[in-house]
Amino acid sequence: MKHTALITGASRGIGAALACRFAAEGYHLALCCHNSYETLQALATKLETTYSIQVLCFRGDVGDYTFICDMVQKTLDTFGQIDVLINNAGISYIGLLTDMDITDWNRIIATNLTSVFSTCRQVIPSMVHAKSGHIINISSVWGNVGASCEVAYSACKGGINSLTRALGKELAPSNIQVNAIACGVIDTDMNRCFSEEERSALIEEIPAGRMGSPEEVASLAYSLATASSYLNGQILTLDGGWI
């Protein structure tokens, strides 16, 4: 019987790399995105053809609890179980806090943090019933140390880190592991808002001398999904020695 992974924000970047890695390992997939749905469908078709797996695609706002409930239920109805949940969906906001209005704040909190509560809330009961499961949250080094002009994003990622630690303790007796990856600068569209000069300045600060790749995040995530059950409630930093 093949395992199943549910991955949010899967149409590109880290999410697409996660989908490719778990598909290569034989997992059936449930993938979602808010925009770029055609890109997600094309990825799903490629993965199904290449790896002989089944992929469900969902389009919706992960900040919408009703959407999450529907996606999880349809995934369980189709595959019977969700073995791995990866909360990857996220948006950024760069600017002074005083320039941010309440609508922006609510949107980033809903997308980046409330969505993690929602997916966990819906997936956990089936994992508890199975006495097995892995929840992997894609976080950021800014959740550890905070970033100027990214206060809301940092708050979300700090919340994810605390949620990960607490939920790992809560679910360990049910043999469910909850861990997070605190990413440094990963070469994705989210970081392509910077100019070449700004990107070069960033890279100069990283001891590894480069940005990380989405594939490296995916590799670490798969390692967490197959790690000892004793590895639980941890925030693993992947940043090339930067922070």
Instruction: List, by residue number, the catalytic residues.
Output: 153
Between the alpha carbon of residue 43 and those of residues 35, 85, 143, the distances in Å are 14, 19, 30
Residues in the chain, overall count: 243
> Which candidate, 161, 166, 185, places its Cα nearest to that of 236?
161
State CA 179 to chain mean position distance: 11
| CA–centroid distance for 187 within its chain | 15
Torsion sign (Cα): 90, 91, 92, 98: negative
* 183-193 CB burial, b ≥16 within 10 A, e <16: bbbbbbebeee
Hey, what's the torsion of the CAs at 157, 161, 166, 171, to 10 degrees? 100
Alpha-helical segments (H) within the chain: 13-24, 37-51, 65-79, 102-109, 115-130, 142-145, 151-171, 196-205, 214-225
